[in-house]
Structure 1
Amino acid sequence: MDGFKKRLNESVQFKLSFTLSLVILVIAILAGSFSFVSAFDEAHELQDDMLRQVAALFDRQHLPLSHLGDDGRARDSDEESRVVVQYLYDGSKAAATGNIGAPLLLPPTLPDGLHTLDVSGEPFRVLVKTTSDNERIAVAQEAGVRNDIARASALRTLMPLLILVPILLLIVADLVRKLFLPIASLSAEIDGRSEQELHPVEDRYLPAEVRPFVVAINRLLVRVEQSMETQRRFVADAAHELRSPLTALSLQAERLAQAEMSDLAHERLITLRRGIERGRNLLDQLLTLAKAQTVSTVPKAPISVQHIFRRVLEDILPLAEARQIDIGVDGEQDAALWVSEADLIAVIKNLVDNAIRYTQDGGTVDLSVTTKDGQAIVRIQDSGPGISVAEQQRVFDPFYRTPGSDQAGSGLGLAIVKAITDRIGAKIALALTDEASHSGLRVQVSVSLARPSHQGSARTRNAPPLPQDTESV
């Protein structure tokens, strides 16, 4: 009962359906009761009229009662609708006329008119009438039979109402549900948006009562978009402004390295230059993250994943060579994706860069792309320590780094990847490469295909061949 009250208070749709159904039921009960009583009384009145017509027929036609059976009714007549007709005499006159064996023992002093009497323990409806021959006749019918006939007639009157009310309740419930469908569709549309999709909500097909609420939501979305844009512009401007002094510091450090100094000073200068370089990398990552959170332009043509692999490997090979990491593309299958080239490069480059940095020297990093159910599945997997299941969701947070990590970095790489994949409608999933040893990381990015993928040498742009799992690239 508490759950019902809670749902009734929380759901406008349920409350409206319940209220309308309750009103319909109350009105149907009142109308049905009135109809039943009216039909019941009318059936009794019709039966009384029938008794009057029978009496009038005997009076006008001067019909004798000798044609009736011993029980006062016509032979082979219906038991349930029998009407008893008999003379009404006092005792002496009844003996003189030979009517002592009358079907019903009625008091001879009954006045003319309708009466309800108990005869031998059974109720009867009796009409007493004095004929034109000054003879008194009684026309009677069992009250139980009359009530059964009246009740059946009243129930037949109620039958359309009993059939139509449940149908009406179903129609009302379905109608209310359909009236709330635009609101449910609006809720699903808003719930399915990413945090970057702040365009106004369409209110053209919504009811007038809901439209002010949607207008308020649209105004809020505009304010949120302005606030986010201000924040992104601040981050981008701050990062851009900080690049100049860091560049100047880097140049000064280079000039200082050319001067004569002690070994201790030279060691501290190297540490300073590394710190400056980390600062510059952090600013570059912040700029990339700010760009990733903005809405990109719609690409004019699909881009080849294999082409992006080449571009990324050309940039990342020096780092892999320094670590003696076997890096290459597994397979020759290609896929054409309708996404921005800059976005796809940023995603794959950050993933490959992370894989190389967190893989031990002499490890392996494999890139591959497959297609399934209209999706291109890009995989980057390595032989590094991997990421535990408990940490796999937190690593997408900006500046978050897994505990115990000793690699230099800003903690923004996966945050940039997540921002871009959310914006382009892609899905990213992390898993361990080797479940048995709980090692290695496999990153899988699923993107909708622009067109069916091609096998073999299907490429959209010309580029030098890729290394195919070469040893110690």
Structure 2
Amino acid sequence: MDGFKKRLSESVQLRLSVTLSLAIILVALAAGVFAFASAFEETHEQQDDTLRQVAMLFDRQQMTLRYPQGPAIEGDDEESRVIIQHLGDSQQASGTTDETLPLPFPSSLANGLSTVEVAGEAFRVLVHTTARGERIAVAQESDARDKDARESAWRSLLPFLILFPVLLLVVGDLVRKLFRPIEVLAAEIDQRGEQELHRIDEQHLPLEIRPFVVAINRLLTRVAHAMDSQLRFVADAAHELRSPMTALSLQSDRLAATDMSPMTRERFVPLSRGIERGRKLIDQLLSLAAAQSASARPLSTLSVHDVYRQVLEDLLPLAERKHIDIGVESAQDVQVVFNEIDLFTLVKNLVDNAIRYTPHGGRIDLSVVLTQGWVQLQVKDSGPGITLEEQARVFDPFYRSLGTDESGSGLGLSIVKAIIDRTGARIQLGWSDEVERRGLCVTVWLGHEGLRFTT
């Protein structure tokens, strides 16, 4: 019960449904009671009219009375039959039950309708004085009258009994349909990506919801401006730092070529590595800002093998220093319509990440296949892999797996994820060796509406 009260206080739809249902129930009960009482009373009035018509018929036709003798006529219903007798004959009544006529009605009954009890049975009696001056009594058992009246009243309730559940179903369905635009709107917003901050179309929404949607649109606009400002700041800061870091790198290279004492050389090497890491961090910050930018990019038909070849040419020296066997595993090439810089950046960051975390003498395999309308890129390595607990966090900027000594900025997979989200692609992390649960296998599916694939 407490759970229902909580839902009732939190849900406008449930509160509206319950309120309308209770109102329908109360109105239906009131209308049903009124209809039942009205039908019951109306049936009694019709029965009284029947007694009057019988009395008038007897008077108009100047009928004579002869009380029945012997067995009852077949088909005669004792409960519902109408009894006619001279009121003065009541004194001649010989029985103490209502089975023989005449019945012992009081001779003092006044003209008109009245209810009289005879031998333990209630009768509705109409006393009428005929044109000949005779007083007659037209009577019928009250139980039979009440039974007919109740049956008529219950029949009058049938439309209510049919309409009541139908009306509750219609109200429930109507309330759900009225709130459906909100559910559709919520689902639409929930399916948006992080970079999809365009306005919500409020023209097809009810007037009551539009102010809320307008407020959301204003918030989306402010968030978009804030994100653009942040991206511009990161890009501008990285761009401004690139020149001095490049100059430092050049000075470091020149200084490395000069004669130094062993102690100076020992102190210079960490400085040179730090400058190189800073320069690479700035380059990755620029790549991340470019990947997160929502600006349109030109598409072109690219050979995946050509992209692999360019990436391997750039990163092969890094792989050779660790004696890593790296190469393309698939023989069949696939061409995809994609932005050239995006695809190169995506593959390069995946391969660079694999090289960094693959131990000396390890292996890295690149492959591509066309399956069910998607281009599937795969990068497998023989490194330690990424645990299931960390897989959701490795795409966060500057996050690096625990327990690793590899140097890096932690931006590689963040850049990959930004490109994935912006282009509508998909990415999945798994194990290269499912049995030993070792090695990282990164699978990327390129493809969404509008892209074309050729082999």
Contact kept in structure 1, 2:299 and 2:338, CA below 8 Å: no
Residues 448, 254 of structure 1: CA spacing in aligned structure 2 closer, same or farther, 3 A cutoff? closer
Shift of 1:216: 0.7
Q: Residue 20 of structure 1 corresponds to which residue in structure 2?
A: 20
Q: Residue 62 of structure 1 corresponds to which residue in structure 2?
A: 62
1:396 matched to 2:380? The reply is: no
Q: Residue 165 of structure 2 corresponds to which residue in structure 1?
A: 166
What is the CA–CA distance in structure 1 between the aligned matches of 2:33 and 2:312, rounded to whole Å?
85
Residues 416, 77 of structure 1: CA spacing in aligned structure 2 closer, same or farther, 3 A cutoff? same
Shift of 1:92: 6.2
Q: Give the stretch that moved more between structures: 332-341 or 283-292.
A: 332-341
**1:241-269 deviations in Å (ceiling 9; x for gaps):** 11122122222223323433211112222
Q: Give the stretch that moved more between structures: 58-67 or 29-38.
A: 58-67
What is the CA–CA distance in structure 2 between the aligned matches of 1:298 and 1:240, rounded to whole Å?
20
What amino acid is the match of 2:361?
A: G
Residues 81, 14 of structure 1: CA spacing in aligned structure 2 closer, same or farther, 3 A cutoff? same
Q: Residue 325 of structure 1 corresponds to which residue in structure 2?
A: 324
What is the CA–CA distance in structure 1 between the aligned matches of 2:102 and 2:163, rounded to whole Å?
46
Q: Residue 77 of structure 1 corresponds to which residue in structure 2?
A: 76
Residues 354, 103 of structure 1: CA spacing in aligned structure 2 closer, same or farther, 3 A cutoff? farther
What amino acid is the match of 1:54?
A: V
What is the CA–CA distance in structure 2 between the aligned matches of 1:226 and 1:56, rounded to whole Å?
95
Q: Residue 103 of structure 2 corresponds to which residue in structure 1?
A: 104
Q: Residue 177 of structure 2 corresponds to which residue in structure 1?
A: 178
Q: Residue 470 of structure 1 corresponds to which residue in structure 2?
A: none
What is the CA–CA distance in structure 2 between the aligned matches of 1:144 and 1:226, rounded to whole Å?
84
Shift of 1:80: 5.0
TM-score where L is the length of structure 2: 0.92
Contact kept in structure 2, 1:104 and 1:119, CA below 8 Å: yes
Contact kept in structure 2, 1:83 and 1:140, CA below 8 Å: yes
Contact kept in structure 1, 2:90 and 2:104, CA below 8 Å: no
What amino acid is the match of 2:11?
A: S
Contact kept in structure 1, 2:67 and 2:102, CA below 8 Å: no
Q: Residue 466 of structure 1 corresponds to which residue in structure 2?
A: none
Q: Give the stretch that moved more between structures: 33-42 or 278-287.
A: 33-42
Shift of 1:299: 4.1
Q: Residue 384 of structure 2 corresponds to which residue in structure 1?
A: 385
Q: Residue 221 of structure 1 corresponds to which residue in structure 2?
A: 220
Q: Residue 352 of structure 2 corresponds to which residue in structure 1?
A: 353
1:113 matched to 2:119? The reply is: no
**1:168-202 deviations in Å (ceiling 9; x for gaps):** 21112111211222111111111111111110111
Shift of 1:231: 0.9
Aligned residue-pair number: 450
Shift of 1:281: 0.2
Shift of 1:103: 4.6
What amino acid is the match of 1:42?
A: E
What is the CA–CA distance in structure 2 between the aligned matches of 1:228 and 1:9, rounded to whole Å?
37
Shift of 1:338: 4.6
Contact kept in structure 2, 1:296 and 1:340, CA below 8 Å: no
Contact kept in structure 2, 1:293 and 1:420, CA below 8 Å: yes
**1:417-450 deviations in Å (ceiling 9; x for gaps):** 1122122222222112223323111111223255
What is the CA–CA distance in structure 2 between the aligned matches of 1:198 and 1:8, rounded to whole Å?
33
Residues 339, 65 of structure 1: CA spacing in aligned structure 2 closer, same or farther, 3 A cutoff? farther
Shift of 1:229: 0.9
**1:176-235 deviations in Å (ceiling 9; x for gaps):** 211222111111111111111110111010111111111111111111111111111111
Contact kept in structure 2, 1:334 and 1:453, CA below 8 Å: no
What is the CA–CA distance in structure 2 between the aligned matches of 1:126 and 1:191, rounded to whole Å?
77
Q: Residue 286 of structure 1 corresponds to which residue in structure 2?
A: 285
Contact kept in structure 2, 1:336 and 1:451, CA below 8 Å: no
What is the CA–CA distance in structure 2 between the aligned matches of 1:414 and 1:381, rounded to whole Å?
15
TM-score where L is the length of structure 1: 0.89
What is the CA–CA distance in structure 2 between the aligned matches of 1:24 and 1:332, rounded to whole Å?
72
What is the CA–CA distance in structure 1 between the aligned matches of 2:451 and 2:19, rounded to whole Å?
52
What is the CA–CA distance in structure 2 between the aligned matches of 1:299 and 1:143, rounded to whole Å?
95
Contact kept in structure 1, 2:324 and 2:362, CA below 8 Å: yes
- % identity of equivalent residues: 58
SS in 2 for 1:328: strand
Contact kept in structure 1, 2:238 and 2:285, CA below 8 Å: yes
Q: Residue 234 of structure 2 corresponds to which residue in structure 1?
A: 235
Q: Residue 374 of structure 2 corresponds to which residue in structure 1?
A: 375
SS in 1 for 2:394: helix
Structure 1 unmatched ranges of 5 or more: 459-473
SS in 2 for 1:107: coil
Q: Residue 31 of structure 1 corresponds to which residue in structure 2?
A: 31
Contact kept in structure 2, 1:395 and 1:414, CA below 8 Å: yes
Which structure 2 residues correspond to residues 108-147 of structure 1 after superposition, within 5 A?
108-147=107-146
SS in 2 for 1:321: helix
Contact kept in structure 2, 1:126 and 1:139, CA below 8 Å: yes
Shift of 1:395: 1.4
Q: Residue 414 of structure 1 corresponds to which residue in structure 2?
A: 413
Shift of 1:101: 5.1
Contact kept in structure 1, 2:323 and 2:362, CA below 8 Å: yes
What is the CA–CA distance in structure 2 between the aligned matches of 1:418 and 1:91, rounded to whole Å?
107
What is the CA–CA distance in structure 2 between the aligned matches of 1:338 and 1:453, rounded to whole Å?
7
SS in 1 for 2:88: coil
**1:369-402 deviations in Å (ceiling 9; x for gaps):** 2344433332111111111222222211111111
SS in 2 for 1:76: coil
RMSD, matched Cα: 2.3
What is the CA–CA distance in structure 1 between the aligned matches of 2:152 and 2:88, rounded to whole Å?
36
Residues 342, 67 of structure 1: CA spacing in aligned structure 2 closer, same or farther, 3 A cutoff? farther
1:43 matched to 2:43? The reply is: yes
